[in-house]
Each structure stands twice: as C-alpha cells, then as structure tokens.
Amino acid sequence: MYRDSVLVSFSPVTGDPVGEVPVHDPSSLGQVIKSARKAQIEWSVLHKKKRLALLQNLLSLMTERAEDLCALVSKETGKPLVEAMNTDVMASLTTIDYCIGWLKRHPDEMEIHLGGFHTMMRYLGRRSYVRYRPLGVIGVIAPFNFPLAIPFSQTIMAVTSGNAVVVKPSANTPVIGHMIETLFKDAGFPGGLVRAVSGKGIGKALGASPVDRIVFTGSTEAGRNVMISAAQRLTPVTLELGGKDPMIVLEDADIERAASGAMWGSFVNSGQVCVGVKRILVHKEVYSHFLDVLLYKTESLKQGDGLEDPDVSVGAMIDDEAVANMEDQVRRAQEQGGKVMAGGKRTPGLSGSFFMPTVITGLSTTSDLWKEETFGPVVMVTAFEDELEAVRMANDSPFALSASVWTKNTDKGKIIASAIRSGTVVVNNCLYTYGLPSTPWGGSGESGFGRTHGQWGMMELMEPHHVHVDSGKFPRDIWWTPYDKGSLDANRKLIDGLFRKKGLGKALSLLDIRKYLKGGGSD
C-alpha cells in the first residue's frame, strides 16, 4: 500500500504491517542509473582479490543474518519459516559460494583456436583472444514468490561478472527486496553499485530505461510488456516467465516417494512457484494407487502461520486477490467436468489469505486448468496409456520451463527426459535445481528465453570483446592491394596449404606464403 512517500508491506497471514520502503518517481530513475554506472566503473577496475574479499564478506554477513532474513521473508510472504530458509536464504548463500568459485576460475582472457587457420596464423605471428567484459548496468525486475532468492541470485551473478544492478522488487514484498541493497552496502561494496527502487510505474520505467540488460521474472503477460518496452532501446532481455510443469509417474515408480514429491512440488510456497508441479501424469496401472496416496498425504498437511508454528507445511498466499484467482480457476474446472478430490476452497478457520491444497481429476487437455498457468496450490491428476502418450501430454502446453520423470529405471528416465520440451527435467525429484546455481535456469515458449545461473547465465551478463594481434613482422599481407599475379598465386597456395595438401606439401606451401609476405614474391 502506498502511503505518502513510502510503500508499506503487510503480512498476508496477520494483516499487520511488516515494514516500509521509500518510493521513487519514475523521473528519478535516470539519476539512479547514472549513479550505478559510476559505481560500476569503480567496481570493474577493482583487483580480483579485493572483489573476492568483498564477496566473502557478503557470504559471511548473510550467514550471520540468516535467521533474521528467514523471519523477514516469512513475514512478508506468508511462507513457513523452513521454506524461507531453504528456498530463499539457502539458495542465496549457495549462489554467493558459486560466484566466489567462478570468479577464482574465470580467466582474464581466453585464446581462440582459429580452426584450420590456427597453425598458419601462429606461424605468421598472429593470435586472437577474447575478454568477457561486463555489460554495465543490469535491471532486475523480480516477483514476490521468492523475494530474496530470485533477485539476489540474479544480482550477485551480475555483480560478480562486473556489473552494477538496479533491482525493482515486487510491490508485495518490497522490504526484503530493499534489504538486498542494504546487504551489499554493509558488506563494503561501492556505494550505488546495487540499488533497489520501488514506486508506481517504476517497473515500466526500468524496462524502458537506458540499462544494458533487463532480467525479468514474472508472468508471461508482464514479460511481453517488458520486452516491448526494452525493444524501443534495443535493450537485450532475459525472461523467466510462467510454467505449467508436468510430472510423469511411470508404472515402475516408487509410488510413496513420488506422491511425497508431488505433494511438495504442488504445494510448496502455497503453489506460487513458476516451476511448481501443476500437471501430474500417472500410468494407468498405478493411477488409483498414486491418487489414494497423494490424497492421504495432502489431507494431512497443516496450514497456518509457519513463522510461529514449525508444524505448518502450507502457508498463506500473497494476498486475497491470489486466493480469488484460485477460486475462479477451481470453479471453471468444475464447470468443465473436473472433480475436486481435496481442497478447492479458502481454508476454513484461518483469517489470512489461505487456500486449501487442492487436487482435481477428470479434466481433459482442452480444459482451462490444463492450458493456463496456475499460481497457487491447485494440481490436476490424469492417467496415461504408455510412455509415448505421457511425453505427448507433457509437451502439450505453450509453457516449457521444467518437468520431472519418476521411475526406478533412471536410464529410462533420462531417455524420456530428453524428449520433454523444457529448460530443465529432473528424474525422481522436482523444482529444487534453482538452488543449484551452477546449473542453467530458464525455459522456452511462453516460459520465456535466456538463462540465469551457471556459466550460461554469466555469459548473458557480459559481452565477448575480441582482440586480434598481428606481430607486424611482415611488410604486407596476402590479401592486401595492389593485386598482381604474385598475390593471386599466393592465395592459391593458401588454399592448397589449408585444404588440399598435408604433411610436407602443407609445410612447403606455408613457407612459400611466408616468402611472399616478406616481399620475395611467389614462385
């Protein structure tokens, strides 16, 4: 809620205020970016040992403050304390650790092998190398569901690769978002290197601003709008958007374990997960057994204030509008033939923004619930005939972010995984690879494009700067003007030496070319 010159955050569990942050007018964003550029120059020329020391300071600082950060995430999102710990704080700490290792290993420059030209070029005193240099200022636009893990991991990777960052957190979770700026400041990073901005219209303004890349995580519709804005300045974008992740349970799967994984994958963070399990596809021979086990486990889950009660497994949704969206999706699912096997309504006896963990069966692949993203604790379960049908059903979606395959035969699981259209497929587990920062993260289709995390994410935050060095020991080059019969003959010998001749013939061609370059003509 905006109040005067601040944005106030409220707990979705109790309705009490969590904190407030200052708001920025979109017109002030230019000055913020200008300040970030100045800090980025200071940061980029800092010696690697000093940058590593600051990263280590940040890791130590966040480890010391881990309990406070967990509590703040839990208060602002309504998720249980243990989820705040393992999905937000732990994921952030592991990403810092990865970045420290990456910076230690990353070479300042890398020589490029020039293919068939390589031997000749080295013989002639020439080489190419590339340096990966930072883009400059990265704009990070973050969602509410993982208000620390998502913007922090994207920020720390951008900073590690030499950039400054302007973070725009969700208006639902601004306090933890602005805490990111505080953490970098307290760890001793240059002032202005990481800035957090909030305010009406600030996200749209950041998308259209003169930053050097936008990293956006959110809905597909919002991602399209960001891309449209960024296109006006030809600003590159990384988009991690919605999902409708399938979970394939094969006939030979460990049903008890698969049902436990499905329960967690469907209802963690109250289902507000872009890679949450949303479509469970079960082999017809084990469908009934799996469904019985899943329903039993689901009905045993406790909801409530997970900050105060460690036995709570499902917390609140972010606000009442999110709950109303789940009510609408369930209603339409029932109208289209779906049967609610568990949940399906607001949680009785709880006054916050709670919706019961919900399992729905009986829906076809043409139903709204199959096609649309579901950002809440609602999952559909359906049967399949064979593995080919399972893959076809899994790929029958405009979203392609993540998926999982459950089987005792991991070789079979890998084969099926390779046929599923998604950025990540996990065999016998789900979701958690976001917390493995060395692995790439992202999808395709309506799930967006580009990658964060790992070396692939790092490469999107830098640009290759190619330098070719000629020692200059020859007074001419084989392709320089003026042309004459000698240059034509020399170029013919170049083709012979590179592509026709081998061994001694190749060496003789190169020697003849060297003679020509030294001004001796061509035989």
Active site residues: 240, 274
Pick from 508, 522, 506, 516: nearest CA to 477 = 516
Please name the amino acid found at residue 475: P
Q: State how far the Cα of 146 lies from the Cα of 500, in Å rounded to an integer.
A: 59
Token pair of 333 as six digits: 């699912």
Helical pair 149-160 and 174-186, crossing angle rounded to 10 deg? 30
Beta strands, E only, 407-484: 424-427, 444-445, 448-449, 462-470
Contact 212, 135 (CB under 8 A): yes
10 Å CB burial of residue 26 (0-12, 13-18, 19+) is middle
Q: State how far the Cα of 203 lies from the Cα of 215, in Å rounded to an integer.
A: 12
Token pair of 402 as six digits: 């993540």
Q: Name beta bridge partners: 360.
A: 340, 380
Rg (CA), the chain: 28
Q: State how far the Cα of 40 lies from the Cα of 155, in Å rounded to an integer.
A: 13
Q: How many CB atoms lie within 10 A of CB 468?
A: 12
**Could you identify the residue written with the tokens 């399938």?**
246
Pick from 488, 486, 437, 505: nearest CA to 91 = 437
Q: State how far the Cα of 188 lies from the Cα of 262, in Å rounded to an integer.
A: 42
DSSP state of 189: P
Phi and psi at residue 203, to the nearest 5°: -65, -45
3-state helix, strand, coil in the chain (%, to 5): 45, 20, 35
Phi and psi at residue 219, to the nearest 5°: -70, 160
Beta strands, E only, 446-501: 448-449, 462-470
Helical pair 174-186 and 66-77, crossing angle rounded to 10 deg? 160
Pick from 269, 163, 283: nearest CA to 214 = 163
Q: How many CB atoms lie within 10 A of CB 385?
A: 11
Pick from 241, 189, 228, 236: nearest CA to 211 = 236
DSSP letter string, 356-394: --EEEES--TTSHHHHS---SSEEEEEEESSHHHHHHHH
Q: How many CB atoms lie within 10 A of CB 241?
A: 25
